[in-house]
Structure 1
């Protein structure tokens, strides 16, 4: 029996979630969301725009999920991570149902990092900095 909350994303759905988000936000715009490390600056910019616009967390829930899926997928493609469903202790600790496991076995919480950037803001919560200082990355990009 699954311990996944009804409606909570699962690891097996996150790649598709990221792709759907990218398709929606790049359909009419020119946002360069290409799963590169540099594109994480765009994610920072988008989240800052939501904050400045006064959006509340509930109204932005799906957008933040899409952004978190995108950040996680950058980790999968560029750092050798893999999506994982968190166990109950990890869910409690991270406050999210899914995350990524790095090649060295460490787990990280990209969805939570996106929520922190939205809630706190500022350079200390940068998603690009998160990637660049991330422990456990693969030495070579995985595409």
Structure 2
């Protein structure tokens, strides 16, 4: 997923050089903005699939770099529940689904599905991550 996130950032920032996708917590506001733009542009989930996967990988990579998470393959039960093959495990052992959170934001458009808010209210973050 790290490579997926990097490819998404490279593609997105090639087209829009000033897009601040720097894996910071603040950049999650940009993710919210991009998802809202997809919705306003009339994209359906199927058309937006690759972009949503890239955004989900990016959000997960922010969790890896800023919150001490690691990418994990989900087991069969977790896959059935989340609908995703991978997630992130936090330092306290909790597993989260950043790809699913991106899809939820896209489908609902609700402000409470903000990816920045997700990070800020996320349980299990490391207090301090050394990059």
**TM-score normalised by the chain length of structure 2:** 0.97
The answer (yes or no) to whether the contact 1:103–1:138 under 8 Å persists in 2 is yes
The runs of 5 or more residues in structure 2 that have no matched partner are: none
Superposed, which structure 2 residues align to 1:130-141 within 5 Å? 130-141=118-129
Match of 2:28? 40
Runs of 4+ in 1 over 2 A off after TM superposition: none
Task: Classify 1:107/1:24 alpha carbon distance in 2 versus 1 (closer, same or farther; 3 Å).
Answer: same
Matched, 1:101 2:89: yes
Question: Aligned match of 1:25 in 1, 4, 12?
Answer: 12
Task: Classify 1:142/1:61 alpha carbon distance in 2 versus 1 (closer, same or farther; 3 Å).
Answer: farther
**TM-score normalised by the chain length of structure 1:** 0.89
Deviations 1:58-100 (A, max 9, x none): 1110000000000000000000000000000000111100000
Question: Superposition RMSD on alpha carbons, in Å?
Answer: 0.6
The runs of 5 or more residues in structure 1 that have no matched partner are: 1-13
Alignment length (residue pairs) = 130
1:142: how far off? 3.7
Output the CA distance in 1 between the equivalents of 2:130 and 2:52.
25
1:121: how far off? 1.0
Superposed, which structure 2 residues align to 1:73-88 within 5 Å? 73-88=61-76
